Chain A
Amino acid sequence: MYRFAPRLLIRGIAGGSRRSAAPARPFSTDLPAAPTEDATFVEAWRKVAPNVDPPKTPLAFMKPRPSTPASIPTKLTVNFVLPYQSEIANKEVDMVIVPATTGQMGVLPGHVATIAELKPGVLSVHEGNDVTKYFVSSGFAFIHANSVTDIITVEAAPIDHIDPTLVQQGLADFTQKLNSATTDLEKAEAQIGVDVHSALNAALSG
């Protein structure tokens, strides 16, 4: 079985490099911005009503995304939004560490474009010497090729808003529920409880 390993590896590398040399789909930040006015509509309007300005469509009000710069930018632009509030909007920072399901991921300017699913954990935003930490319940982090990072979560709280006694109690409760769970669904819910409370615990002590 392993006799074929070199052949398979070479095939993989050659195929991969051929594919990456000509990307099939460009990133959203590399596409040209959509035209803000529909040329045929504007022409037809001017023929019918030459003295009135053509109405603007919503597309005309939207600012196009900044395109991917040629050299790595010095700062990361972060947008951190919750359903009820915009926590950080277009802030230039040095680094953010997001709690991805694959582990704590540090995002620096020039990071490769990534979509990361987040697990309950600590999100830290580093600006010079200031670090702002939030505990986030799950969500997603989108890192674009132009070093704009969008982080969306349902709930986020600064670490000092968390009550340690409630966390310990919850952890004990859910560990006990996990041991006594019968159906798959109960086990899954208890496991989620244990995961979330252990993450809260780690956030409080870390």
Chain B
Amino acid sequence: MASSGAAVPFWRAAGMTYISYSNICTSLVRSCLKEPHRSNAANREKVHFAISKWSNGKPESPTIRSDSATE
């Protein structure tokens, strides 16, 4: 078993989590695809959600995040 002093991957040493690393790799691969596959892949990266923070029991105005490739 690796001791607590084992070398961490460079991205973790720079403060990135595995999920961000994996998502960055994925968006880079998607941007290198040939045309029909590239637009299909871009569709998969679309996100659409609304976040509203609550304070004093009431929701504040929501921020809507709706875009294609998330960077």
Q: Which residues of A contact B (CB under 8 A)?
A: 84, 101, 120, 135, 137-139, 154-155, 157, 161-163, 166-167, 170, 184-185, 187-189, 191-193, 196-197, 200
Q: Is the Cβ of B33 less than 8 Å from the Cβ of A188?
A: no
Total residue contacts A-B, CB cutoff 8 A: 73
Query: Given B13, B15, B21, B26, which contacts A155 in the complex, CB threshold below 8 Å?
Result: B26
Q: Interface centre among B16, B28, B33, B41, by most A CB within 10 Å?
A: B28
Nearest CB on B from A169, distance (A): 9
* Given A188-B13, A196-B25, A200-B29, 17 other A-B residues pairs in contact with their CB atoms under 8 A: A120-B25, A137-B29, A155-B26, A155-B30, A157-B37, A162-B33, A163-B32, A163-B33, A167-B32, A170-B31, A188-B10, A188-B11, A188-B15, A189-B24, A191-B11, A192-B21, A192-B25
Nearest CB on B from A77, distance (A): 25
What is the size, in residues, of chain B's interface with A at 8 Å between Cβ atoms? 25
Q: Is the Cβ of B37 less than 8 Å from the Cβ of A188?
A: no
CA separation between A84 and B24, bound complex, in Å? 17
Q: Is the Cβ of B26 less than 8 Å from the Cβ of A137?
A: yes
Given A138-B21, A187-B14, A188-B14, residue A120 in contact with residue B29 (CB < 8 A): yes
Cβ of B34 under 8 Å from chain A: yes
Q: Is the Cβ of B29 less than 8 Å from the Cβ of A155?
A: yes
Q: Is the Cβ of A154 less than 8 Å from the Cβ of B22?
A: yes
Given A184-B15, A188-B16, residue A154 in contact with residue B32 (CB < 8 A): no
Query: Given B9, B13, B33, B44, which contacts A161 in the complex, CB threshold below 8 Å?
Result: B33
Q: Is the Cβ of B11 less than 8 Å from the Cβ of A166?
A: no
Nearest CB on B from A206, distance (A): 16
Query: Given A135, A185, A187, which contacts B29 in the complex, CB threshold below 8 Å?
Result: A135
Q: Is the Cβ of B34 less than 8 Å from the Cβ of A163?
A: yes
